[in-house]
Amino acid sequence: MNASLKNPRPVLAARPAIVNRVSDLIGHTPLFELLRTADGRRIVLKLEQSNPTGSAKIRMAQQMLDEAEQDGSLRPGGRVVESTSGNTGMGLALLAAERGYRFTAVVDHHAAADKLRTMRAYGAELIYVSDGDALATADREALAERIADADPDAIWTEQHNNPANGRGYTRVAHELLAALDGHIDLLVGAVGTGGSLFGTARELKPWLPTMTVIGVEPVGSIAFGGEGADYYQSGTGTPAGAEIGALVDYSLLDEGVKVSDAAAFNTARYLGRKKALLVGGSAGGVIYHALSLIDRLPPGGTMVVLVCDGGEKYLDTVFNDDWMAARNLIDDSVATELAPIFARFESTAATQVEAA
């Protein structure tokens, strides 16, 4: 365990009791203790769905716009263009509405329908690259670049290669340091652009140099090697044919693992039914793997899992029996696998309460 911090901890500004911009509600997201053992090992979830738009990605959307304004590339009344599977787009759409910019989202039908509806509700223009529901990341990015190049008032935020993406998660690290007093042994998160996991890890490492960083991507994603294949997890991974973004920092990665759609989605469904906690499909995959790691913690150790969005956007997909069955994704063996893990630690917690 990292017992002490060598450097002064960053000062975390408190949120005002009353705010006058929706973006002032970004951050200060809660921690949820999912499991705790008798010897104090625990899994703690950083619930980023408490942000506006229900996702961590509004943090990096804010940072990308802040830096574009600071360097003069984004001027008053300008246009923001981005290729998005939804969460980044929702963040940019909200911020564009708040700051008076036009926002164009280049999307495909792989995105959850509620994410697309939300972007429209904020006034975004949606441009589709395909009619089917396949993930079309490379096509989206190529079109976003062309649109921005053709408009002198536009910028392409290019989330996969924009360093501001990673810097947008500096506050996540500061919030974790403040809440956990610098005790983090394992940090686990999904890897899509790489911004959330590696941006958080990079900021934590000066204080927690022995912390282990574990990335999770879908089976079929190529960032950790292997053959590319279609997958349904949204907003994560790197599909075949797409460029691995510059923010995927292998120097910070201790382990990279793959989780199937079935394992990810059925874990999310299990948590909804057994823990009253709705998380997104890719977050289900991260938690699925995290549960297998708890015995690697030292006594009293802490594992932090970055839960980048909630499950409310996936009621028509992950939490829809017909949608799951049509894609052969319902797998009762996942619940059979998870139930004994929770039973083991819930019985421990009950014994501790009785003893107290």
Question: In angstroms, rounded to a whole number, what is the distance separating the alpha carbons of residues 291 and 67?
Answer: 37
Six token digits for residue 309: 């969005």
Across-strand partners of 33?
Answer: 44
Confidence of residue 353 (pLDDT cuts 50, 70, 90): very low
B/e letters for 254-290, b = 16+ CB within 10 Å, e = fewer, are eebbbbbbbbbbbbbbbbbeeeebbbbbbbbbbbbbb
Going by the DSSP 8-state scheme, the letter that residue 116 receives in this structure is H
pLDDT band at residue 322 using 50, 70 and 90 as cut-offs: very high
Q: List, for residues 210-250, the tens digit of each pLDDT value.
A: 999 999 999 999 999 999 999 999 889 999 988 898 999 99
Q: Please state the length of the chain.
A: 356
- In one-letter notation, the amino acid at residue 176 is L
Radius of gyration of the chain, Cα coordinates, nearest whole angstrom: 20
Secondary structure class of 284 (helix, strand, coil): helix
pLDDT of residue 348: 55
Question: What pLDDT band is residue 258 in, cutting at 50, 70 and 90?
Answer: very high
Is the predicted pLDDT of residue 11 greater than 90, yes or no?
Answer: no
* Mean per-residue pLDDT, 30-42: 95
Residue 346 clears pLDDT 80, i.e. is over it? no
Query: Which SS3 state, helix, strand or coil, does residue 281 take?
Result: helix
More confident residue, 283 or 181: 283
Residue 99, pLDDT above cutoff 80: yes
The CATH T-level fold of domain 57-159 is: Rossmann fold (3.40.50)
pLDDT at residue 10 in the model:
83
Has residue 355 got a pLDDT over 80?
no
Q: Which one has a higher pLDDT value, 97 or 139? A: 97
Residue in the block written with tokens 């290669």: 161
CB 88 within 8 A of CB 62: no
Provide the residue ranges of all domains of the chain, joining segments of one domain with +: 22-51+169-348, 57-159
Residue 286: which of 178, 197, 199, 346 has the closest Cα?
197
Note the pLDDT tens digit of each residue in 264-319.
Answer: 999 999 999 999 999 999 999 999 999 999 999 999 999 999 999 999 999 999 99
Least confident of 136-140, 179-183, 269-273: 136-140
Topology at the third CATH level for domain 22-51+169-348: Rossmann fold (3.40.50)
Query: What average pLDDT does the chain have?
Result: 93
User: In percent, how much of the chain has pLDDT > 90?
Assistant: 84
Helix, strand or coil for residue 82?
strand
How many CA atoms are closer than 13 Å to the CA of 22, on its beta-carbon side?
Answer: 18
Phi/psi of residue 341, nearest 5 degrees: -65, -50
Can you tell me whether residue 83 is helix, strand or coil? strand
Most confident of 111-115, 133-137, 268-272: 268-272
Same fold, 22-51+169-348 and 57-159: yes
- For residue 6, pLDDT over 70 is answered with no
Res 347: pLDDT: 54
Distance CA 32, CA 76 (A): 40
Report the side by side order of strands in the sheet with 125-128. Answer: 125-128, 102-107, 79-83, 154-156
